[in-house]
Amino acid sequence: MKALELKVPPVVLVILIAGIMLLLSPLFPQVHFQPLPNWIIAIIAALGVIIPLIGVISFKRAATTPDPRDPTKTNSLVTTGIYRYTRNPMYLGFALLLLAWGLYLANMATLFGLPAYMFYMNQFQIKPEERALAEKFGRDYTQYRQKTKRWL
């Protein structure tokens, strides 16, 4: 499965999974649930936008690339700001967007998109990134990994 590593841009994956979630909803009407108030869903979605933006801004300030397709192009290890709390704020934000979407669709079947996204990201995006960053930044990255969670 190494052929899938770093191949699908995370934004494309989110759009793909969101589309699958939309298609699943009418196929499983028996698992619809009472929707949450829209303001709660809006807060989750807003966090799903704000958190990745903060991550991108942190990368730009550090003059390194936020492009996830080739982690070897990273020229500095960002460990401050939001990166003190999560090693992957952009991916975390995308997960929040999928959560908000699933809650908006109000269907338990659609919520399976979230663990599917997280599994794919862990296996085919994050683990390869971590290998590349460990190779590039060595002990600094190892210490960072020990004190900061992958997601939260």
CB 87 within 8 A of CB 144: yes
Q: Specify if 95 maps to a domain.
A: yes
69 three-state secondary structure: coil
Q: What six digits make up the tokens of 74? A: 């990273």
CB 66 within 8 A of CB 83: no
The total of structural domains in the chain comes to 1
Q: Specify if 13 maps to a domain.
A: no
Q: Specify if 8 maps to a domain.
A: no
Q: Specify if 152 maps to a domain.
A: no
Q: Residue 134 sits in which domain range?
A: 42-147
pLDDT digits (tens, 9 = 90+) for 74-117: 999 999 999 999 999 999 999 999 999 999 999 999 999 999 99
* pLDDT class of 2 with cuts at 50, 70, 90: confident
C-alpha to C-alpha distance for 117 and 72, rounded to whole angstroms: 23
CB 111 within 8 A of CB 52: no
Task: Give the side-chain half-sphere CA count within 13 A for 117.
Answer: 30
